[in-house]
């Protein structure tokens, strides 16, 4: 009998896993949301309160709410969504990226088309028609815009007031402003070598030659073109001339602007929300202006915008409701709620944005004075982007001859575009 | 559950135990089975999939397409792979010297002393603090002009203007320091367990013979600490080869990838570029190297231990 | 070195080193206690004038919705390491005392579980979990946390039990004890400090896990705490640094208490030799 005890008892350990916590099992399918709830996944986990605020509005007016699951790590989020299509845990609604990320999903026929929803929204004036092309692959449109942001120059009003500076309207004026604060011991511009290292490349190139900027993202131009090299040399001059803050300083941009470490930050309009969160008041403590073109002869001012899609998986558990939700998301009711919850602009010009500075920008952007250009981050195919971010982060940390960096990026671009046939 | 199904017949077929070594064959297997089972199903099986993916081209969608050894060839041709390899080696050397050495020092100094376990506590707290807070705090310390620079400046020491996280190999070295901050206490704790299991009599006898301090440690404690030294070094070896979290959180691999380790390369390929095949190839290479290093070390240590 | 000098030098070295070790903790405490409006990046060492720790903690707790995740996380970080400690001790006992045939092979097989980079098994695990219908379940979470903590436990326990003289086992057999009884009543009690050490280290690991939690769970009552905590701070904004630190501090408290409360186990000798 002793042996019997031994074997049985020794196996207890292996079965304990099941025995000890079988009762704790809540079943495997909480993922499927209840009636009136659609499962929603996003890599912007920090925006949960804002999404839930809009969900409250939709529950009243649409009878549908969001069952929110947030990720804080964009890379793992992407992997999760990709793998979920192999299972029946695919999300009803999820945020994604335009460009090659979107094309990957379309190539495998995983998304529900939204061409009709878009047409109705455009007819209704809810979304600028120009935006549709960024959501269209081979003539069919997918997803709806989740948010929109413009890239502008934020500045610390106290610093500007102290040195009697006004918002510049030309590149020359901008540099005069920068020289003035620099002469007074304040670093003009924010710079970082993590993730957002591409920002000044984007600004300088888009403000110098927007055609080249677009051609670069479609593979029609090379990173070693003289125009690109020239922009890199200009950037290098500014880096070496002390126009930028320490790229290795990991202090959050809002804290750097607040503390007066830097006078200006070239950033997306979502920085407004972050500045508000550190108790800076829009229009009083900070303001922003559209960055003037480097090349004064261009007919329109280049304005960088970014937009992230909100997509519906084909054959998702609640596909119909999810499409309904996507349709509602573009309305001015949804966008007013969203923009004000986030403290950001909206793609819908009819949305009532409370923040006056942002509301003005929302209106202006629709006028003919601006040429909207897609943010470098979305416009560039992922493998090329990865190489470029690595290159730019090294460049801002140790400015030097840009040619080796550009050649490395171009090698990646050659490989990518040749594989695309 | 399959554990039960496999093992159940064994009870009836085994003879009554007698006091010979061979007769514990079945109970030895019964005791060992749960560990083997749980590890095989939940760790080995998924990694088999990764191994298969390493021979394919796959972006996480649709079906992988077989490319043979292409991913491995591309990996060895990539100049960044060499940087990763170099940084990983620095991590291995750094991790099995600094935190292990400090752990041993803390353990031997504090062991047997009154309030020794309380003096050990400051070294354990870092391990108990959650990663989010640790990341923020170390950014305070290591960013340019941050806490470390301010401290050096205040003490009149040179190096205050170092770019801690930007320049290689300095960034790898300071991150090893941060890792040592978290790990030394754990190593000390493991060494303390080793010290606790040392029988008192021989130590007392040696003390009566006039042994103390360094000689006592060298000739009495150190040989008897061997099993736990194996544990600590073995764990540090494996963990350092797989270094990822701290590098990713602090630098994302550093400017121009200069702080990248193999695990960071693997992560970047797989999760940032969605090149699952290329990332898996790095993972397989990394696992094989780690496994060989661990098995070589453990075999030597465990066989030596038997002869002691 | 004279014994007298050693008596002073030993604690002195420990105290100095300990103070260095506590410096980052000081930064954590001081900055988590600052009023967000008064926080300045270039003055991280400066102590607080007004104490806002509890406001910051409250903010992190409410916005992060941390309350939901506490129950499940406590469950995982108690059950999984406890199972892992037992399973690890069992295989250690099987190899060392019962002399499992090819023991080194099986031991290496189990320890080999740690060589795989966890990030790379997340995706196959996720798909496997969905197919086995244990995705997003507490059972599934406990199972994977047990699996990843077993190799560590097996290594420590195998080596620790290896220090117990085999005569102990033989004497017990002479007395007619079953192998189970020898394991449960003799070997486990003799290894208390090793068991506790493995348990608290692995419980801390599980408590702080983010990777597995993100990949294998989705609903609020299954997802572990850290997934909520990291969402406090990410690239797209989130809470202020002071609140992030306060949140990080708050969720670290249970593990710090765990370490504190088990200290006395490590302060006395075991003296395995007497058996």
- Please list every residue in chain C whose beta carbon sits closer than 8 Å to the beta carbon of residue A49: 63
What is the pLDDT of chain B when averaged over all its residues?
86
> Which contiguous run of DSSP H or E holds residue A238?
helix A226-240
Distance from CA of A2 to the nearest CA of B (A): 8
**In sequence order, which residues have a C-beta less than 8 Å from that of residue C174 and are 6 or more positions away?**
B19
Task: Look at C240 and B150; give whichever has higher pLDDT.
Answer: B150
Both B237 and B111 in a single domain?
A: yes
C-alpha pair distances (Å), A263 with each of A174, A179, A276, C272: 12, 11, 17, 67
Both B117 and B248 in a single domain?
A: yes
Distance from CA of A389 to the nearest CA of B (A): 8
Both B154 and B32 in a single domain?
A: no
Nearest by CB: A15 against B3, B145, B163? B3
Q: How confident is the model at residue B25 (pLDDT cuts 50, 70, 90)?
A: confident
Q: Please tell me what DSSP assigns to residue B255.
A: G
Beta-carbon separation of A14 and B37 below 8 A:
yes
Burial of C242 (0-12, 13-18, 19+ CB in 10 A): buried
- Helices assigned H by DSSP within chain C: 3-32, 53-64, 67-96, 103-111, 118-131, 138-161, 166-174, 179-181, 188-190, 192-207, 211-216, 225-230, 241-261
B-C CB pairs within 8 A amount to 312
Give a yes or no: residue B63 inside a domain: no
Number of structural domains found in chain B: 2
pLDDT in tens, B242-269: 999 889 888 888 888 899 999 999 999 9
- Give me the sign of the Cα torsion angle C104, C106, C107, C109: positive
pLDDT at C156: 92
Q: What are the DSSP E strand ranges found in A177-245?
A: 187-189
Residue C41's closest chain A neighbor by CA?
A: A251
Q: How confident is the model at residue C84 (pLDDT cuts 50, 70, 90)?
A: very high
Q: Please tell me what DSSP assigns to residue B220.
A: I
Range of the domain at B5: 1-53
Beta carbons of A326 and A103 less than 8 angstroms apart: no
Distance from CA of B27 to the nearest CA of A (A): 6
What is the pLDDT of chain A when averaged over all its residues?
88
Beta-carbon separation of B181 and C21 below 8 A:
yes
Q: How confident is the model at residue A28 (pLDDT cuts 50, 70, 90)?
A: very low
Distance CA C118, CA B271 (A): 13
Distance CA B184, CA C144 (A): 27
Distance from CA of B130 to the nearest CA of C (A): 5
Beta-carbon separation of B59 and A390 below 8 A:
no
Burial of A298 (0-12, 13-18, 19+ CB in 10 A): middle
Q: How far is CA A365 from the centre of its chain?
A: 18
Distance from CA of A338 to the nearest CA of C (A): 15
Flag whether pLDDT at B148 surpasses 80.
Answer: yes
Beta-carbon separation of C63 and A49 below 8 A:
yes
pLDDT in tens, C195-227: 999 999 999 999 998 889 888 988 888 888 888
What is the pLDDT of chain C when averaged over all its residues?
87
Beta carbons of B36 and C91 less than 8 angstroms apart: yes
- Other Cβ atoms within 10 Å of A368 Cβ, number: 7
- Please list every residue in chain C whose beta carbon sits closer than 8 Å to the beta carbon of residue B291: 112, 115
Query: Region C16-40: what's the mean pLDDT?
Result: 88
> Which contiguous run of DSSP H or E holds residue B306?
helix B276-307
pLDDT at B15: 42
Flag whether pLDDT at B113 surpasses 90.
Answer: no
Q: How confident is the model at residue B147 (pLDDT cuts 50, 70, 90)?
A: confident
**Structure tokens given for A419:** 């594989």
Both B271 and B154 in a single domain?
A: yes
pLDDT at B10: 37
Beta-carbon separation of B31 and C116 below 8 A:
no
Flag whether pLDDT at C118 surpasses 60.
Answer: yes
- Please list every residue in chain C whose beta carbon sits closer than 8 Å to the beta carbon of residue A22: 139
Residue A18's closest chain C neighbor by CA?
A: C139
pLDDT in tens, A285-307: 999 999 999 999 999 999 999 99
Both B82 and B209 in a single domain?
A: yes
- Please list every residue in chain A whose beta carbon sits closer than 8 Å to the beta carbon of residue C146: 17
Nearest by CB: A72 against C133, C137, C230? C230
Q: What is the separation, in whole angstroms, between the first and last Cα of chain A?
A: 73
- A372 φ, ψ to 5°? -80, 130
Both B191 and B290 in a single domain?
A: yes
- A190 φ, ψ to 5°? -75, 145
Distance from CA of A399 to the nearest CA of C (A): 25
pLDDT at A18: 39
- Please list every residue in chain A whose beta carbon sits closer than 8 Å to the beta carbon of residue C39: 255
Rg (CA), chain A: 24
pLDDT at A291: 97
pLDDT at B184: 95
pLDDT at C269: 57
Among B267, B295, B271, B294, which residue's Cα sits nearest to residue B283? B267
Beta carbons of C76 and C208 less than 8 angstroms apart: no
Flag whether pLDDT at A388 surpasses 90.
Answer: yes
Give a yes or no: residue B303 inside a domain: yes
Both B177 and B214 in a single domain?
A: yes
Beta-carbon separation of B228 and C117 below 8 A:
no
pLDDT-above-90 percentage for chain C:
49
Beta-carbon separation of B35 and C121 below 8 A:
no
Distance from CA of C15 to the nearest CA of A (A): 32
Query: All domains of chain A, ordered by start, with CATH?
Result: 37-148+306-366 (3.40.190.10), 150-304+376-419 (3.40.190.10)
Return the residue in C213, C235, C241, C244 with the most chain A beta carbons within 10 A, the one to mutate for interface testing.
Answer: C235
**Structure tokens given for B234:** 């073995």
Beta carbons of B147 and C44 less than 8 angstroms apart: yes
Residue B141's closest chain C neighbor by CA?
A: C24
Both B35 and B180 in a single domain?
A: no
pLDDT in tens, A359-385: 888 888 777 889 989 999 999 998 899
- Please list every residue in chain B whose beta carbon sits closer than 8 Å to the beta carbon of residue C186: none
Beta carbons of A144 and A309 less than 8 angstroms apart: yes
- Other Cβ atoms within 10 Å of A359 Cβ, number: 16
Q: How confident is the model at residue A6 (pLDDT cuts 50, 70, 90)?
A: very low
pLDDT in tens, A79-127: 899 999 988 888 999 999 998 889 999 999 999 999 999 999 999 999 9
ipTM for the predicted complex: 0.89
Distance from CA of B90 to the nearest CA of C (A): 18
Most confident of A169-173, A362-366, C189-193: A169-173
Flag whether pLDDT at B7 surpasses 50.
Answer: no
Distance from CA of B211 to the nearest CA of A (A): 45
Neighbours of A, requiring at least 3 CB pairs below 8 Å, are B, C
Both B5 and B154 in a single domain?
A: no
Both B94 and B172 in a single domain?
A: yes
Right CATH for C65-231 from 1.10.3720.10, 3.40.1190.20, 3.90.1170.50, 3.30.460.90: 1.10.3720.10
Distance CA B167, CA A394 (A): 10
Beta-carbon separation of C37 and A279 below 8 A:
yes
Neighbours of B, requiring at least 3 CB pairs below 8 Å, are A, C
Task: Look at C36 and A406; give whichever has higher pLDDT.
Answer: A406
- Please list every residue in chain C whose beta carbon sits closer than 8 Å to the beta carbon of residue B116: 267
Both B210 and B237 in a single domain?
A: yes
Both B268 and B207 in a single domain?
A: yes
Does the beta carbon of B138 lie under 8 angstroms from any beta carbon of chain A? Answer: no
Residue A405's closest chain B neighbor by CA?
A: B256
Beta-carbon separation of B119 and C44 below 8 A:
no
Give a yes or no: residue B66 inside a domain: no
- Please list every residue in chain A whose beta carbon sits closer than 8 Å to the beta carbon of residue C221: 26, 30
- Give me the sign of the Cα torsion angle C39, C40, C45, C48: negative
Distance CA C195, CA C179 (A): 19
Beta carbons of C100 and C106 less than 8 angstroms apart: yes
Neighbours of C, requiring at least 3 CB pairs below 8 Å, are A, B
Across the strands, what pairs with A152? A267
> Which contiguous run of DSSP H or E holds residue A372?
strand A370-374
- Please list every residue in chain B whose beta carbon sits closer than 8 Å to the beta carbon of residue C100: 28-29, 31-32
Output b/e per residue, A105-144; b: 16+ Cβ within 10 A. Answer: bbebebbbbbeebbeebbeeebbbeebbebbbeeeebbbb
- Please list every residue in chain A whose beta carbon sits closer than 8 Å to the beta carbon of residue C188: none
Residue boundaries of the structural domains of chain C: 65-231
**Residues making up chain B, counted from first to last:** 308
Beta carbons of A266 and A189 less than 8 angstroms apart: yes
- Please list every residue in chain B whose beta carbon sits closer than 8 Å to the beta carbon of residue C109: 36, 39-40
Flag whether pLDDT at A12 surpasses 50.
Answer: no
DSSP codes of every residue in A392-412:
HHHHHHS---SHHHHHHHHHH
- Please list every residue in chain A whose beta carbon sits closer than 8 Å to the beta carbon of residue B272: 75, 382, 386
**In sequence order, which residues have a C-beta less than 8 Å from that of residue B174 and are 6 or more positions away?**
B142, B148, B164, B165
pLDDT at C236: 58
Residue B260's closest chain A neighbor by CA?
A: A390
Distance CA A340, CA A345 (A): 8
Residue C220's closest chain A neighbor by CA?
A: A69
Among A291, A227, A239, which residue's Cα sits nearest to residue A265? A291
Q: How confident is the model at residue B306 (pLDDT cuts 50, 70, 90)?
A: low
A-B CB pairs within 8 A amount to 116
Beta-carbon separation of A14 and B33 below 8 A:
yes
Read off the pTM: 0.87
């Amino acid at each position: 009998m002793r042996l019997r005890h031994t074997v049985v008892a020794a196996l207890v350990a292996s079965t304990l896993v099941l025995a000890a916590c079988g009762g704790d099992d809540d079943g495997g399918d909480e993922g499927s949301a209840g009636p009136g709830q659609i499962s929603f996944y996003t890599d912007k986990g920090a925006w949960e309160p804002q999404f839930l605020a809009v969900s409250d509005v939709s529950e009243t007016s649409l009878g549908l709410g969001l069952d929110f699951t947030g990720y804080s790590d964009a890379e793992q989020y992407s992997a999760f969504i990709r793998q979920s299509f192999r299972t029946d845990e695919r999300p009803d609604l999820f945020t994604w990226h335009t460009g090659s990320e979107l094309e990957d999903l379309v190539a495998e026929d995983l998304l529900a088309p939204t061409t009709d929803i878009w047409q109705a929204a455009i007819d209704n004036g809810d979304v600028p028609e120009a935006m549709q092309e960024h959501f269209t692959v081979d003539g069919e449109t997918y997803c709806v815009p989740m948010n929109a942001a413009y890239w502008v120059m934020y500045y610390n009003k106290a610093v500007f007031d102290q040195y009697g500076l006004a918002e510049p309207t030309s590149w020359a004026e901008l540099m005069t402003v920068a020289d003035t604060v620099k002469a007074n011991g304040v670093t003009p511009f924010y710079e970082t070598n993590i993730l957002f290292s591409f920002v000044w490349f984007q600004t300088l190139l888009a403000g110098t030659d927007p055609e080249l900027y677009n051609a670069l993202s479609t593979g029609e131009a090379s990173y070693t073109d003289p125009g690109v090299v020239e922009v890199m040399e200009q950037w290098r001059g500014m880096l070496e001339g002390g126009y930028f803050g320490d790229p290795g300083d990991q202090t959050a941009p809002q804290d750097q602007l607040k503390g007066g470490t830097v006078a200006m930050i070239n950033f997306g309009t979502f920085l407004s929300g972050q500045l508000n969160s550190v108790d800076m008041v829009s229009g009083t403590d900070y303001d922003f202006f559209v960055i003037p073109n480097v090349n004064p002869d261009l007919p329109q001012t280049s304005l960088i915008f970014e937009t992230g899609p909100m997509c519906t998986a084909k054959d998702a558990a609640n596909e119909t409701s999810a499409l309904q939700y996507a349709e509602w998301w573009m309305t001015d009711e949804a966008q007013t709620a969203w923009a004000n919850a986030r403290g950001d602009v909206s793609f819908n010009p009819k949305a009532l944005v409370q923040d006056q500075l942002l509301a003005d920008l929302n209106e202006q952007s629709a006028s003919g004075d601006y040429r909207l250009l897609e943010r470098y981050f979305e416009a560039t195919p992922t493998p090329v982007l990865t190489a470029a971010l690595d290159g730019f982060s090294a460049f801002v940390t140790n400015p030097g001859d840009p040619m080796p960096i550009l050649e490395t990026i171009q090698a990646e671009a050659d490989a990518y575009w040749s594989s695309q046939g | 559950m399959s554990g039960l199904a496999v093992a159940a017949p064994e009870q009836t077929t085994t003879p009554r135990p007698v006091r010979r070594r061979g007769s514990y064959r079945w109970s030895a297997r019964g005791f060992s089975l749960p560990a083997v089972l749980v590890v095989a199903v939940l760790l080995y099986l998924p990694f088999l999939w990764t191994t298969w993916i390493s021979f394919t081209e796959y972006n996480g969608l649709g079906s992988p397409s077989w490319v043979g050894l292409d991913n491995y060839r591309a990996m060895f041709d990539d100049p960044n792979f060499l940087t990763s390899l170099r940084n990983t080696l620095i991590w291995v050397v750094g991790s099995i010297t600094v935190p292990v050495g400090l752990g041993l020092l803390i353990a031997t100094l504090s062991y047997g002393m009154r309030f020794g376990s309380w003096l050990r506590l400051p070294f354990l707290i870092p391990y108990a603090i959650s990663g989010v807070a640790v990341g923020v705090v170390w950014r305070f310390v290591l960013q340019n002009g941050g806490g470390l620079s301010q401290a050096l400046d205040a003490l009149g020491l040179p190096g205050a203007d170092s770019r801690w996280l930007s320049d290689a190999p300095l960034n790898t070295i300071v991150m090893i320091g941060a890792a040592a901050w978290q790990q030394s206490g754990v190593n000390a704790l493991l060494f303390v367990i080793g010290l606790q299991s040392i029988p008192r009599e021989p130590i007392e006898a040696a003390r009566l013979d006039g042994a103390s301090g360094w000689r006592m440690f060298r000739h009495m404690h150190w040989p008897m600490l061997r099993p736990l030294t194996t544990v600590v070094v073995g764990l540090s070896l494996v963990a350092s080869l797989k270094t990822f979290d701290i590098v990713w959180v602090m630098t994302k691999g550093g400017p121009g990838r200069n702080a990248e380790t193999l695990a960071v390369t693997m992560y970047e390929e797989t999760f940032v570029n969605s090149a699952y095949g290329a990332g898996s190839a790095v993972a397989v290479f990394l696992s094989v190297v780690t496994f060989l290093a661990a098995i070589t070390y453990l075999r030597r240590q465990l066989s030596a231990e038997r002869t002691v | 070195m004279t014994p007298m000098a050693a008596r002073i030098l030993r604690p002195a070295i420990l105290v100095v080193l300990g103070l260095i070790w506590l410096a980052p903790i000081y930064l954590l405490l001081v900055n988590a206690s600052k009023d967000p409006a008064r926080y300045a990046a270039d003055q991280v060492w400066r102590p607080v004038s007004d104490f806002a720790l509890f406001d910051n903690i409250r903010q992190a707790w409410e916005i992060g919705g941390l309350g939901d995740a506490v129950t499940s996380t406590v469950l995982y970080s108690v059950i999984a390491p406890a199972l892992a400690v037992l399973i690890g001790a069992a295989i250690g006992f099987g190899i060392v005392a019962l002399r499992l045939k090819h023991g080194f092979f099986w031991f290496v097989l189990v320890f080999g579980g740690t060589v795989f980079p966890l990030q790379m098994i997340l995706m196959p695990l996720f798909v496997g979990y969905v197919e086995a219908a244990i995705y997003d379940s507490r059972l599934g979470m406990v199972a994977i946390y047990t699996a990843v903590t077993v190799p560590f436990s097996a290594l420590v326990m195998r080596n620790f039990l290896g220090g117990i003289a085999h005569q102990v086992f033989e004497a017990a057999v002479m007395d007619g004890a079953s192998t189970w009884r020898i394991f449960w009543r003799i070997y486990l009690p003799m290894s208390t400090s090793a068991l506790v050490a493995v348990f608290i280290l692995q419980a801390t690991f599980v408590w702080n896990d983010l990777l597995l939690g993100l990949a294998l769970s989705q609903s609020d009552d299954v997802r572990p705490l850290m997934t909520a905590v990291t969402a406090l701070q990410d690239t797209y904004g989130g809470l202020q640094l002071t609140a992030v630190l306060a949140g990080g501090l708050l969720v670290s408290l249970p593990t710090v208490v765990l370490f504190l409360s088990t200290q006395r186990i490590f302060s006395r000798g075991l003296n395995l030799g007497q058996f």
